[in-house]
Amino acid sequence: MATLEAVRRSKPIKVPGSDPLKKTWGKIKRGWQLYLMLLIPLAWLLIFQYWPMYGAQIAFRNYMPGKGIWDSPWVGLDNFITFFKSYMFVRVVRNTLWVSFYSLLVGFPIPIMFALAINQLRVGLFKRTLQMVSYAPHFISTVVVVGIVIQFLDLRRGPINLLLQALGMSPINFIGSPEWFSSIYVWSGIWQYAGFNAIIYLAVLSTVDPTLHEAAVMDGANRLQRIWYVDLQTILPTAMTLLILNMGQLMNVGFEKAFLLQNTLNQTTSEVISTYVYKVSLAAGIATYSYGAAIGLFNSFVGLILIVIANQVSKKTTETGLW
């Protein structure tokens, strides 16, 4: 009994090199160049992503630039309540959700289908040419894309309306019609980004083991069955991860494109949260800074809720999630 008591009271023997802190410091010393490079993106993350959160309190104050953030009067949730009671609340939220869901419904599966189609091509020159042509619009600025769209859909000289007139139909004022705004916004985005977004799926498809296709052929599977059971199942985890990230951006309709396509005729459907925040917080003057900040914070909060819900649903249905 005395021996057992002595063993209990004795201090544990430290094995040389077992200290986790020393191990970690040793790894840092051996790879100090890599950790030094890591400081650059870490500094960017802290300065441009976390430090601006300090200014989020503007949404809860009546911000006055002369007094600064801390000395501006605290108003609590007044700015949020004003937005919720505003006649624009329903309109901008409805327009934002509709354009976002439309973009997600169309823009999510098309890059997947495009990547699967390109992956099946065997003619190298045609495959490379198709990839280059589909990627190119991504590198065109949004301003130029909107200019192309406006000229293409012009009421008098646009190719679409000239074709309609040649077929004996009346020209359509696409840019000035509220019902056409969402389709113009979404499909021009598909043209611009679908090819580039397919790159990540093509990268995943390049990792597919050829023996899987060989086994499927031996089992009598045709090409469509191999695409469905081999290729599509391979890219499914990546697709679900991107879907979750897209759900988090559901409330963030691009400001630049929506603002450039917007005019007084289509404003009933083109006024989204991002353009409304610009108009009430910057274009209207400094007196509404806090109001615009409250709308932006509400937008981000809804996006956070959506991404959490999408992640939980994805984990339960496909066992794939971000965390």
- Do residues 112 and 199 touch, judged by C-beta distance below 8 A? no
Q: How many CB atoms lie within 10 A of CB 61?
A: 22
Distance CA 218, CA 220 (A): 5
pLDDT tens, the chain, 323 aa long? 555 555 455 555 555 555 677 788 888 788 888 888 888 899 999 998 888 888 888 889 888 877 888 888 898 889 899 999 988 899 999 999 999 899 989 989 999 999 999 988 887 788 888 888 888 899 999 999 999 999 999 988 889 999 999 998 899 999 989 999 999 999 999 999 998 999 999 989 988 888 888 888 888 888 888 888 888 888 988 888 888 878 777 777 778 899 999 998 899 999 998 888 888 877 665 557 888 888 888 888 888 888 888 778 777 777 766 67
Helix (H, G, I), strand (E, B) or coil at 61: strand
- Domains in the chain, ordered, with CATH? 83-318 (1.10.3720.10)
Burial bucket for residue 200 (CB in 10 Å: 0-12, 13-18, 19+): middle
Q: What is the DSSP string of 63-99?
A: -BTTTHHHHSPB-TTHHHHHHHHSTHHHHHHHHHHHH
Q: Take residue 280 and report the two structure tokens written for it.
A: 């009430």
Task: Judge whether 306 and 245 are in contact, CB under 8 Å.
Answer: no
Q: Rounded distance, CA 95 to CA 66, Å? A: 35
